[in-house]
Amino acid sequence: PLIAVLPGDGIGPEVTTQARRVLEALDLGLSFEEAPVGGAAYLQSGRPLPPETVALAKRADAVLFGAIGDPRFEALERRLRPEAALLGIRRELGLFANIRPAKLFPGLEDASPLKAEVVAGLDLVIVRELTGDVYFGEKGRRTNQEGLRQGYDWMGYDEGEVERIARIGFETARKRRRKLCSVDKANVLETSQLWRDVVNELSTEYPDVHLTHMYVDNAAMQLVRRPAEFDVIVTGNLFGDILSDQASMCAGSIGMLPSASLSGGSGANGMYEPIHGSAPDIAGQGKANPCAAILSAAMLLRHSLENEASAQRIEAAVAQALVGGARTPDLGGTHTTQQMGDAVVQALR
């Protein structure tokens, strides 16, 4: 199988290198091909998402993605910014389902700002819709009737978009503790009301899954108050973006959280990336935690290559490295990115 490697910006290359090392150490006969994306691609070719990069991603069996984002390009027009590459590739590959597990690895209770008893047993999955919502609606700037500059973005979902992501939420819950919490803002938004209606309709197909609905403001609060009570959360693109970053703190550090972006139940052509960003402030210094990228590689094996055993081997190796005391600075330790990768590779053996 062919893995497209898109390292991207900032700490993206450093962490992706370690993830690739771990995959190589498993000797699965994978081949790798790299391509530029984000600010790195813009520097080389004037485009954050070159057509060759998209072509490679489509041709590959799975995509290993680093991170994008570079403050130098923030003032460019939107379609030239690094973020345009990430949004573009999600759309081009039809990656509508973003799976973001947040799990507390043993020994990391102290790394979380939350009390140990609050995060004990934390094991949740956020299923985030990734190709709709206010992210992809019409947006722009205009002068309004009063002659004032106005910025606007259209938010919306249709029932097809909601149903397919809700289904993944229900299916995910079914394989776990059978609790699904759908998060919206139906008391204010029509987009959310449609969301809630469709989720309710679909729930008749999943009588074995306990479905609840929560407003997003309450969910943000409950994720601090009692995060361990959540099993699976399903939500839209914008709310999922916010809640998953927030949930990362329950797991100790955003440097621990992987994600999978899938185009369908099968997972073919999935993309795998840490949920953290490019962290330009620490780029190139060997300070980044590669675990999120390494655990993303595990998700790649699980979802795109259907190799559950190898996925679990990687996850166990990360756990073992942590139990052995390996800690990057975000976890309160002094391991470099490379040393953290070493510890995981060693534990694999």
Ligand X SMILES: CC(C)[C@H](C(=O)O)[C@@H](O)C(=O)O
Note whether 304 and 270 are within 8 A (CB): yes
Minimum distance of its own copies from residue 162's CB (angstroms): 9
Distance (Å, rounded) from C-alpha 133 to C-alpha 37? 24
Distance (Å, rounded) from C-alpha 37 to C-alpha 9? 8
Quick note: the x/- pattern for its own copies over 211-240, rule CB under 8 A, is: -----xxx-xx-xxxx-----------xx-
| Residue 179, phi then psi, degrees to nearest 5 | -120, 125
Tell which one of 217, 281, 306, 308 touches ligand X (CB under 6 A). Answer: 217
Residue 199 in tokens: 């989720």
Residue 349 interface partner, choices its own copies, ligand X, none, CB cut-off 5-8 Å depending on type: none
Give, as one character, the DSSP assignment of residue 259: E
Q: Which window, 18-26, 181-189, 283-291, 332-340, contacts its own copies (CB under 8 A)?
A: 181-189
Using DSSP's 3-state secondary structure scheme, residue 309 falls into helix
Tell which one of 184, 241, 315, 330 touches ligand X (CB under 6 A). Answer: 241
349 Cβ neighbours under 8 A, 6+ residues apart = 25
Residue 134 in tokens: 């206010």
Q: Of 52 and 217, which CB lies nearer to ligand X in the complex structure?
A: 217
Tell which one of 28, 188, 221, 316 touches ligand X (CB under 6 A). Answer: 188
- By CB under 8 A, tell whether 188 contacts its own copies: yes
Quick note: the x/- pattern for ligand X over 168-187, rule CB under 6 A, is: -------------------x
- Identify the residue whose tokens are 């997972």: 267
Q: What is the dihedral of CA 24, 86, 124, 210, to 10 degrees?
A: -130
Distance (Å, rounded) from C-alpha 308 to C-alpha 79? 38
Task: Report the Cα 240 to chain-centroid distance in Å.
Answer: 10
Residue 58 interface partner, choices ligand X, its own copies, none, CB cut-off 5-8 Å depending on type: none
For residue 33, what is the enclosing H or E element? strand 31-34
Using DSSP's 3-state secondary structure scheme, residue 111 falls into helix
- By CB under 8 A, tell whether 289 contacts its own copies: no
- By CB under 8 A, tell whether 259 contacts its own copies: no
Q: Of 91 and 179, which CB lies nearer to ligand X in the complex structure?
A: 91
At 318, which amino acid appears? V
Residue 32 interface partner, choices ligand X, its own copies, none, CB cut-off 5-8 Å depending on type: none
Note whether 257 and 276 are within 8 A (CB): yes
Q: How many positions of this chain bind its own copies (CB under 8 A)?
A: 64
- By CB under 8 A, tell whether 81 contacts its own copies: yes
- By CB under 8 A, tell whether 156 contacts its own copies: yes
The answer to the question of whether 72 is labelled as a binding residue is no
Distance (Å, rounded) from C-alpha 279 to C-alpha 9? 9
- By CB under 8 A, tell whether 306 contacts its own copies: no
Q: What is the dihedral of CA 325, 331, 332, 337, to 10 degrees?
A: 80
Minimum distance of ligand X from residue 92's CB (angstroms): 15
Summarize the annotated binding site as residue ranges.
90, 100, 128, 217, 241, 245, 277-289
Q: Which residues bind its own copies (CB under 8 A)?
A: 69, 74, 78, 81, 83, 87, 113-115, 118, 134-135, 137, 139-141, 144, 146, 148-160, 185, 187-195, 198, 216-218, 220-221, 223-226, 238-239, 241-246, 248-250, 254, 277
- Residues found near ligand X in the complex (CB under 6 A): 69, 83, 86-87, 187-188, 217, 241
